[in-house]
Amino acid sequence: MSAEQRQAPWGGIAFLAVLVVLLISGGIHTYNWMQDEQQAPVQVIDFSGQFEQLDVLKLERLIRQSQPGSFFALDVNDIHRLLEDQAWVYRASVRKQWPNRLKVYLVEQTPVARWNEDLMLNPYGESFNAEGKNLGLPRLFGPGGSEKTALEGFNAMQRLLRSRQLDIEELSLSERFAWQVQLVNGIEINLGRQEFIDRLQRFVDVYPLLSEQPKGISYVDLRYDTGLAVGWQNETDTNQTKS
């Protein structure tokens, strides 16, 4: 074997080594470029959806603070979790749009009632931690885990009361699942645990007669099989009427 033939394999190996080094160096350079926000910044965060309570400027600041890297380094799963952790966000969808845009679609929570003073309920009976004292919503109270039961009861009662142009201001569900209701007009209704819709129907049936009395109604106790007890305003005596 000549000297030239012995040198040929080493020349090929040297070439491959140089090629590998160049590829690795190029890959590192490309990776660093992709991570560098100055080279490939997220220039636009595009929010869409219908908002009443959400502050999209605040949400944009949160996203940029949590994901300070480039368009390529940005993790849409992390942003998705961040957004759905916000009080007024019910659902979020996040995707990148080449070359420098982030598309965010948000579904805002729809509050229908306050729950135990410090939480809110959405239409599905799910609680979320948000401030809503200025929204004028009915107040619901109950033991932990009874959110859906309380809201379903509220909705059923409100549909029944609407026939008399009456609205619920406050509803309480006790630990033993007894129902109490306070109407916007100040009347308190005690329904007990059983057949509360049938008992409320009894109140709806006699309400026109009761409302014609000269004294205002303070409370109505419907925890009877066939009757009710009425407490009148400014009166300590209770009158009981059997239906």
At 81, which CATH number?
3.10.20.310
Domain C-terminal end among 87, 108, 129: 108
Residue 116 has pLDDT above 60, yes or no: yes
> b/e string for 161-186 if b means 16 or more Cβ within 10 A?
beeeebebebbbbeeebebbbbbeee
Within 8 A by CB and 6+ apart from 241, the residues are: 206, 227, 228, 229, 230
Instruction: Look up the domain containing 149 and give its range.
Output: 113-242
Tell me the Ramachandran region of residue 49: left when phi exceeds 0, alpha when psi lies from -120 to 50, beta otherwise: left
Residues 51 and 128 in one domain: no
pLDDT tens-digit map of 160-173 = 999 999 999 999 99
Residue 29 lies in a domain: no
Residues 205 and 220 in one domain: yes
Q: Which residue is associated with the tokens 């509803």?
A: 171
The pTM (predicted TM-score) of the whole model is 0.78
- pLDDT: which is higher, 134 or 3: 134
Residue 129 has pLDDT above 70, yes or no: yes
Residue 37 lies in a domain: no
Residues 60 and 79 in one domain: yes
Task: Give me the chain's average pLDDT, please.
Answer: 86
Token pair of 16 as six digits: 């491959």
Structure confidence at residue 30 as a pLDDT band (50, 70, 90): very low
DSSP character at residue 109: -
Residues 159 and 231 in one domain: yes
Residues 170 and 203 in one domain: yes
Residue 14 lies in a domain: no
Residue 31 has pLDDT above 60, yes or no: no
Tally of domains in the chain: 2
Residues 102 and 117 in one domain: no
The answer to whether 215 and 187 are in contact (CB under 8 A) is: no
The number of residues making up the chain comes to 243
